[in-house]
Amino acid sequence: MIELRKADQRGVADHGWLQSRHTFSFGHYRNPAQQGFSDLLVINDDRVVKSQGFGTHPHRDMEIFSYVLEGALAHQDSMGTGSVIRPGDVQMMSAGTGVSHSEYNHSEDEPVHFLQIWIVPNVRGVAPRYQQVHFSEDEKRGRLRVIISPDGEAGSLSVYQDVNVHAGLFDGAETAALKLAAGRFAYVHVARGSIKVNGVPFSEGDGARIRNEELLQFSDGDKAELLVFDLRPHELPQPV
């Protein structure tokens, strides 16, 4: 079953320097029916104007990754990491016992557009860690490339949770399929363009909870870029 949620149903935050769309409850956007899915807690679609960003702030016991679509994102943290994240890069920060970081638009001329995603870890109190890997367009073109996995499979980033994240680029006749183990959940987020998933049309910003599907087929892409989360079958409490 594919439970589609259209882009215009997401929460909206307009801070002037930041335009954000919240797939799940975050900040001032609270929706009892949108508290996450399995261990996926946050998908924020953020656009930050030139030279602005998020000042230093703390996190604890959370797996946080950033996926840059356009521009460049500058990161600094209390572990001593300083980096710039550009399209094709995936950055993962395991907050563990506690870490503080800042994120700013690295450009003085152009905006930055990125996804920030939080996953609830399956262990608490680990030592904080930082990872960053670049995945070329060729690695994602017409296929689903694993970018995050529990054991760092195939050069992916490691995550403290039973989740695999795939990224793909699809246009025209390009197709791919993802087989899910029995009972697994999935979540699809279309970052750009449009595509069909098992024949269901998705547009930019659309997402879907997926249950009771053993095979996901991706077709009819139009400049599509998407993330697919293979998740454990964990249901969150439902609103009364």
Q: What is the mean pLDDT of residues 188-206?
A: 98
Q: What is the pLDDT of residues 118-162, one digit of tens each?
A: 999 999 999 999 999 999 999 999 999 999 999 999 999 999 999
pLDDT band at 39 (very low <50, low <70, confident <90, very high): very high
Question: What percentage of the chain reaches a pLDDT higher than 70?
Answer: 99
Question: pLDDT value at position 156?
Answer: 98
**What's the chain look like in SS3?**
CEEEECHHHCEEEECCCEEEEECCCECCECCCCCCCECCEEEEEEEEECCCCEEEEEEECCCEEEEEEEECCEEEEECCCCEEEECCCEEEEEECCCCEEEEEEECCCCCCEEEEEEEECCCCCCCCCEEEEEECCHHHHECCEEEEEECCCHHHCEECCCCEEEEEEEEEECCCEEEECCCCCEEEEEEEEEEEEECCEEECCCCEEEECCCCEEEEEEEEEEEEEEEEECCCCCCCCC
Average pLDDT, the chain: 96
Q: What pLDDT band is residue 53 in, cutting at 50, 70 and 90?
A: confident
pLDDT digits over 212-223, tens only?
A: 999 999 999 999
Q: What average pLDDT does the segment 74-83 reach?
A: 91
Task: Give residue 238's pLDDT.
Answer: 72
Q: Looking at the whole model, is its pTM more than 0.85?
A: yes
pLDDT classification of 240: cutoffs 50, 70, 90: low
Whether 99 and 78 have beta carbons less than 8 Å apart is answered as yes
Domains detected in the chain: 9-134 (2.60.120.10), 136-233 (2.60.120.10)
